[in-house]
Amino acid sequence: MILFDGKTYESSEQDRLLTELEKKIPETLAKKQLSPEVVIEAVECLRNDLLEGKFDELLASFPADVVDTYKAQAEVLLSKEHLHKKLETELGNTFEYTTGYIKGFNQIKVRKMPLGVLFHIAAGNMDFLPAYSLAEGLMTGNINILKLPSADNGLSLKLIMQLIEYRPELTDYIYVFDTSSSDIQGMRKMADLSNAVSVWGSDMAIEAVRGLAPTGVKIIEWGQKLGFCYITRLNEVEDADKELEGLAKHIAQTKQLLCSSCQVIYLDTSDMEELKAFGRRFLPILENAVNGNKTEEIGVRARDTLVSYTQRLKAYLGEEEKHDNVLRGRSCSVIISSDSELELSPMMCNVLVKPLPRENIGKVLYAGRFHLQTAGLICPKEDREHLAELFTQCGLIRVTKAADMSAYFPGECHDGEYALSRYVRIVNVEV
């Protein structure tokens, strides 16, 4: 399904509509710039209707506790107050100013302007990400072309259509296509129409986008990142079991599908027996968390089962040969490995456990520097500040408690950058 001019069309209409869009874009760019206030008002309307239960039927496929979490987050993150704060944090509190007088030079007016046309290639590993990415493009005044991920269940399109219903002025700034990633010609046409491509996805996906985007189009990468948990002096940690339960719940809830999810649990040791002892201790905790986070929704269960069995098949084909010991539980596993490489786990509650003595942290993180994002810490309180400083010096973007690795904190950046600042350009006009 395609959303174009505020109306829906069949996917077969894509070529015709893209040709029409090429004519519409210059007309829209010549209009008065879209005000962020229009977008903020539409988003707050969406927030209010969500909290009043208008979209409960659309959210019926999610577990009840997940829906409650989404609503609690939406109450804050989609409020006018937070969105204004986001604008101020990411773009500063002045969209336009005039430089002071400097002898021998004329003054200039400095203005923040939209890039023009943003082509969003959204990933499907986070609910609501396509709609949220598009909203960020709207807040910066851009025309937005959104390619939905293949895993999208139609929820994104419905939410975006609601934004247009609240504020029809958004119609000329929103175009949504359900284009397949294999449709290179269609995606190249969208890139040709754009000033920038905002791509969420794997290294392979980003490489593919670099190949299809014409010279001059800005590539805004939100690439694949890896999260890990670092544990040191566990026997001295206050409420250690509670900390491990929080980590296990995080793994069970995210199924390790997010960039911030825990892929590897590092222990501050080089002793393999200590790793195996930890694995035996952690497995029943993880198994209990997985059992407590099962969903009754048949589609989600089918997807999870398929991914899990695919990973198990890969293991049988020898892809886990490098691992020294695999402790299997019901619907989860703890995989003991003697190397310290930061890598993607088999996911779906199958976590890697590896040695990483503190003196080797810099070496290991430098090797994985292109994929660093989140570190969760389980350590005595007196070690936390030093470890946080060490990890951020070595390239980590986020340092949290183990239970909060995928939690969102109002005002935080994404992958070390603010999205809104990447969606604007700076214009100088001589006074």
Average pLDDT of span 271-280: 97
Is 97 in the same domain as 124?
yes
Residue 399, domain extent: 226-404
Return the higher-pLDDT residue of 171 and 321. 171
Is 283 in the same domain as 162?
no
CA distance 9 to 160: 15
CA distance 261 to 376: 9
**Is residue 321 predicted with pLDDT exceeding 60?**
no
CA distance 216 to 210: 11
Looking up residue 398, the CATH number of its domain turns out to be: 3.40.309.10
38: which residues sit within 8 A by CB, 6+ positions away? 167, 169, 170
Is 217 in the same domain as 235?
no
Is 239 in the same domain as 369?
yes
Average pLDDT of span 326-347: 95
Work out how many domains the chain is built from and give that number.
2
Is 184 in the same domain as 297?
no
Looking up residue 190, the CATH number of its domain turns out to be: 3.40.605.10
| pTM of the full structure | 0.87
Cα 416 to chain center, whole Å? 12
**What is the arrangement of strands in the sheet containing 226-231, beginning at the earlier edge strand?**
325-329, 332-336, 350-355, 262-267, 226-231, 372-378, 398-401
- The answer to whether residue 409 is domain-embedded is no
CA distance 374 to 412: 12
pLDDT for the residue 309: 52
pLDDT band at 300 (very low <50, low <70, confident <90, very high): very low
CA distance 218 to 303: 35
Give me the chain's average pLDDT, please: 91
Is 216 in the same domain as 309?
no
pLDDT for the residue 150: 82
Average pLDDT of span 316-336: 76
Largest CA distance in the chain: 75
Is 248 in the same domain as 163?
no
Residue 61 phi/psi, 5-degree rounding, is -80, -10
Amino acid at 319: E
pLDDT band at 385 (very low <50, low <70, confident <90, very high): very high
pLDDT, one tens digit per residue, over 151-198 is 777 889 999 999 999 999 999 999 999 999 889 999 999 999 999 999
| CA distances, 102 to each of 94, 252, 420 (Å) | 21, 60, 31
Tally helices (H) and strands (E) across the chain: 14, 17
pLDDT band at 298 (very low <50, low <70, confident <90, very high): very low
Token pair 């079991």 is found at 241
CA distance 171 to 163: 9
pLDDT for the residue 323: 56
pLDDT, one tens digit per residue, over 29-54 is 999 999 999 999 999 999 999 999 99
> Residue 395: which region, alpha, beta or left (left: phi > 0; alpha: psi -120 to 50)?
left
Supply the angle between the helices 80-91 and 36-51 in degrees, to the nearest 10.
140
Q: Which of 58-67, 106-115, 298-307 has the lowest mean pLDDT?
A: 298-307
